[in-house]
Amino acid sequence: MSGSRRTRLPNRAQPEHGTAPEVGGANPPAGAARPVDAGRPADEPAPGDGDAAYRQLYAFVDDLRKVIAERERALAAASDAQRAKAEFLAEATVALTEPITTISGFADVALRGATDPEQRDALVRVLRAARELEHRVQLLLTLARLDR
């Protein structure tokens, strides 16, 4: 094995210290301004200089920006829906409890002065139905609060 020969590799031209080697295209001269791409800050390298890695990176960043914007729109829509739901519940509570309270009050007053057994029986049924409705409205409100 003493007869093995070593092959010398050709000496490649090394880039000067502090400069980047060219990859896939020419780099602009030091200090030269790169063209500004629409929507990108001027200090970001432009993807159009022939470097495939830049193009892939910027495609990924653009996709990421689109996903983030879509997420923000969805969050805003969900927030609007939650606000509309809260407003609806507030209005529905007033719209339902006010007439129920009125019916209960009138039925209670009429029951105090009623002497006829049939009339008393009918007023008791009205009071029970009004209280049941009031109870159901309270259950709905409780469920809505738990949903928040």
The 3-state secondary structure of the chain, one letter per residue? CCCCCCCCCCCCCCCCCCCCCCCCCCCCCCCCCCCCCCCCCCCCCCHHHCCHHHHHHHHHHHHHHHHHHHHHHHHHHHHHHHHHHHHHHHHHHHHHHHHHHHHHHHHHHHHHHCCCHHHHHHHHHHHHHHHHHHHHHHHHHHHHHHHC
Per residue in 71-90, pLDDT tens? 999 999 999 998 888 888 88
Look at residue 125 in the predicted model and tell me its pLDDT.
94
What pTM, to 2 d.p., does this model score?
0.46
Judge contact between 41 and 49, C-beta under 8 A.
no
**92 pLDDT band (50/70/90 cuts)?**
confident
Per residue in 10-63, pLDDT tens? 544 444 444 444 444 455 555 555 555 556 666 565 555 567 788 888 899 999
Higher pLDDT, 29 or 120: 120
